[in-house]
A and B are shown apart, each in its own frame.
Chain A
Amino acid sequence: MFSCKEEGEYHSITDKIEAEQKPYHGKLTSEELLADTQLIKITEGEHIFLIPERKGQIKSFACIECHSKPLAQMRGLDGKKAHWDIKLNHANSETMNCATCHNPDDMNNLKTLTGQNVDLNLSYKVCAQCHSSQFEDWKGGAHGKKVAGWTPPRASMTCVNCHNPHSPSFETRWPVQFNTQKAIERKDDLDH
Chain B
Amino acid sequence: MSDNKKWYTLDLGLNKKEETSGSCGCGKSQGSCNSHKEEEKEEEISHEEFYEAAINASIGEERSKDGFEQVFDVKMDRRTAFKKLTASLLIGAGAISSCTSVVNADSKEKAQIDWEEQFKGNYKLMIDEEKQGTVDRLMRSYELRTGKNISMTSENAEEDVLFGYAFNISKCQGYMNCVSACVEENNQDRNSEMQYIRIHEMKDGEGFKFDKADDNYYHEVPKEDHFYMGTQCFHCDNPPCVEVCPVQATWKEDDGLVVIDYDWCVGCRYCMAACPYDGRRFNWSKPEVPENEINKNQHYLGNRMRKKGVMEKCTFCVQRTRKGKNPACVEACPTGARIFGNLLDPNSTIRWVLENKKVFRLKEDLGTDPKFWYFMD
Which residues of A approach B to under 8 Å, CB–CB?
4-6, 12-13, 16-17, 20-24, 26-30, 33, 133-134, 137, 140-146, 148-152, 154, 156-157, 162, 170, 172-183, 186
Contacts and interface: CB of A to CB of B under 8 A. Distances in A.
B237 A16 contact: yes
Contact of B238 (A4, A140, A170): A4
Nearest to A138: B336
Given A142-B339, A142-B349, A154-B349, A173 B175 contact: yes
B193 A179 contact: yes
B2 to A, nearest CB: 27
Nearest to A25: B160
Nearest to A6: B243
B312 to A, nearest CB: 16
The 7 lowest CB-CB distance pairs between A and B, nearest first, are A141-B349, A140-B352, A28-B324, A24-B345, A151-B324, A175-B176, A181-B193
A21 B348 CA distance: 11
A144 B330 CA distance: 11
Given A140-B349, A142-B356, 11 more contacts: A12-B237, A22-B345, A24-B348, A26-B158, A141-B348, A142-B353, A151-B342, A152-B345, A170-B334, A177-B179, A179-B195
B180 A176 contact: yes
Contacts of A150: 321, 324-326, 340-342, 348, 350
Contacts of A143: 171, 336, 377
Which of A4, A137, A177 lies at the interface centre, i.e. has the most chain B CB atoms within 10 A of its CB? A177
Contacts of B349: 140-142, 146, 154, 156
Interface stretch (B29-37, B41-49, B215-223, B301-309): B215-223
A148 B340 CA distance: 11
Nearest to B228: A175
A13 B193 contact: no
Nearest to B183: A177
Contacts of B174: 175
Contacts of B321: 149-150
B176 A23 contact: no
Interface string B149-187: 000000000111110001010010111110110010000
